[in-house]
């Protein structure tokens, strides 16, 4: 394939693009189905009020951390999509950071949540599966964004033809 054929949003780049499109949808669903009920059905008070049967001092910080980071990841995925479609030269570096921060977030969340007895007692294969999935995703796509000819040809810093593109 020549350089013209390996340019633009196509080929394997479609897969991470689809992942970025689905991320805010998945996070929005998670916030609506998991976190909104906690905030509206009295669960927050039960989990965070000293003396209640389910109280633990880490519930509040863990839930706030999870909600905040999920919102940040949802917004970041939208920003990354904008950078992808505008073929901005920072996109490859930022998506690599996105993948690495996702692993760090999941690992940190799993570690801290493990100090809450109600969480530690559960057989939580979902969190482990999510961590493994994010590691595999990063192991596949980080090398792709570092080595792909399509990435090199598509996301170049071209200030002469696009002087206002300084996002």
Q: Does 72 reside within a domain?
A: yes
Q: Does 71 reside within a domain?
A: yes
3-state helix, strand, coil in the chain (%, to 5): 70, 0, 30
Q: Does 99 reside within a domain?
A: yes
Q: How many domains does the chain have?
A: 1
Q: Does 33 reside within a domain?
A: yes
Walk along the chain (167 residues) and give the pLDDT tens digit of each residue: 555 678 899 999 999 999 999 999 999 999 999 999 999 999 999 999 999 999 999 999 999 999 999 999 999 999 999 999 999 999 999 999 999 999 999 999 999 999 999 999 987 788 899 999 999 999 999 999 999 999 999 998 765 444 444 44
What is the rounded distance in angstroms from the CA atom of residue 146 to the CA atom of residue 153?
Answer: 12
Q: Does 167 reside within a domain?
A: no
Residue 81 CA, distance from chain mean position: 13
What is the rounded distance in angstroms from the CA atom of residue 64 to the CA atom of residue 1?
Answer: 49
pTM (two decimals): 0.87
Question: Domain of 55?
Answer: 11-154
């Amino acid at each position: 394939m020549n350089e013209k054929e390996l340019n633009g949003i196509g080929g394997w780049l479609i897969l991470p693009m689809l992942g970025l499109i689905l991320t805010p949808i998945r996070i929005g669903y998670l916030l609506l189905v998991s976190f909104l009920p906690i905030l509206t059905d009295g669960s927050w008070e039960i989990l965070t009020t000293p003396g209640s049967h389910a109280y633990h001092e880490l519930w509040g910080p863990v839930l706030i951390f999870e909600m905040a980071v999920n919102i940040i990841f949802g917004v970041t995925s939208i920003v990354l999509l904008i950078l992808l479609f505008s073929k901005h030269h920072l996109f490859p570096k930022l998506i690599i950071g996105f993948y690495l921060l996702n692993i760090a977030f999941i690992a940190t969340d799993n570690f801290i949540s493990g100090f809450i007895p109600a969480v530690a007692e559960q057989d939580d294969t979902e969190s482990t599966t999510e961590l493994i999935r994010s590691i595999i995703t990063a192991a596949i796509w980080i090398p792709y964004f570092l080595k792909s000819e399509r990435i090199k040809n598509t996301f170049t810093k071209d200030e002469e033809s696009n002087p206002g593109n300084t996002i």
